[in-house]
Amino acid sequence: MPQPITVRKVPLLHVSDASALATLIDDGDLDADRVLAVIGKTEGNGGVNDYTRILADRAFREVLVAKGTRSPAQVGQVPIVWSGGTDGVLSPHATVFASLDPATLADAERTDEPRLSVGVAMSEVLLPEDIGRTAMITKVAAAVREAMAQAGIADAGDVHYVQTKTPLLTIHTIRDAKSRGKSVWTEHTHESMDLSNGCTALGVALALGEIAMPTDADVMHDRSLYSSVASCSSGVELDRAQVVVVGNARGVGGRFRIGHSVMRDALDQDGIWAAIRDAGLDLPDRPHRSDLDGRLVNAFLKCEVSADGMVAGRRNAMLDDSDVHWHRQIKACVGGVAAAVTGDPAVFVSVSAAHQGPDGGGPVAAIVDLGAEPTGYRPPRQ
């Protein structure tokens, strides 16, 4: 049986800041050796050359090594997924998942109520010629199933959030494939970010039974194929898929629970509230951020520009803008919507949502704290 989970969100004061993680460990709120995964936002450009992800990754791993007993190699196996780009009001932050010892903590007692459980896995190596093709889909699906088993989740319906980080294509890896007589799906490195994310999402959807096995021709083309719980990011920091499966399991215990929904378009606030309700909070018919009262730990969203260039029946110019890429525009838009709902600019909003939720929308997951003294964010009184 998996152990109970605690979840804490910490701010990043600069691109290589992990001081808030260190404080949580020093104060006894987390055990460095029990940290299972970290999912965060950095303030870089969110592109192929966003090295703020590497700086943040190094800072967090150094804290886990310094304050625990695990070796650097062991800490190197901890999934730490960074999504670059805090456009608009989004604030750099990280969400830390750690296991608890139920024998020593009263709020970690076992319960038959659904409570948060986390499983992590690493896929087989993803070769550059795999990216965007069925080889990647099957390797990702296998890792998702492994992470589910580790979380003690047998029913795919109990999975509410799957965060991944996968490699994208660079000039170096494209050359490597060609040197071995292999072809790649695209030679445009920035396009390969959307490609890696979308293909990975199909692997998640396949593992959870949301879709049947797709073909190479379906990747990035058949947008009716998608996962409602996948949140996929890509970067230059790794050569395989890091997979974090977050769901609910009975008998695990703890005080946290997760739910999910989808945003149908970039302005769909109801999709965010639906995810929070699904996590177990009792909310009024017309909720306000004050109703959260510190119980929302974090919300995790993916977003995408609608292929028809429309939102709520009105056209926009994001896909035609040659000055500011649509990645940054839609992220700022959805980030503003999410922050308005939650009252917290430190929400996880990631762009490039191909095969993640419906076209123009995206999945939403929400983690809530059901404890007597909730640890979620309360905005300053205004």
3-class SS at 174? helix
Is 322 one of the annotated active-site residues of the chain? no
CB 243 within 8 A of CB 140: yes
| Active-site choice (233, 234, 261, 350) | 233
CB 333 within 8 A of CB 341: no
- Other CB atoms within a 10 A radius of the CB of residue 257 amount to 22
Of 269, 287, 244, 268, residue with least CA distance to 121: 244
Q: Residue 366's beta-bridge partner residues?
A: 259, 299
Q: Residue 259 belongs to what H/E stretch?
A: strand 256-263
CB 168 within 8 A of CB 234: yes
Is 233 one of the annotated active-site residues of the chain? yes
CA 291-302-37 angle, to 5 degrees, is 85
Q: Residue 314 belongs to what H/E stretch?
A: strand 314-315
| Active-site choice (41, 165, 302, 331) | 165
**Which residues participate in catalysis according to the annotation?**
165, 233
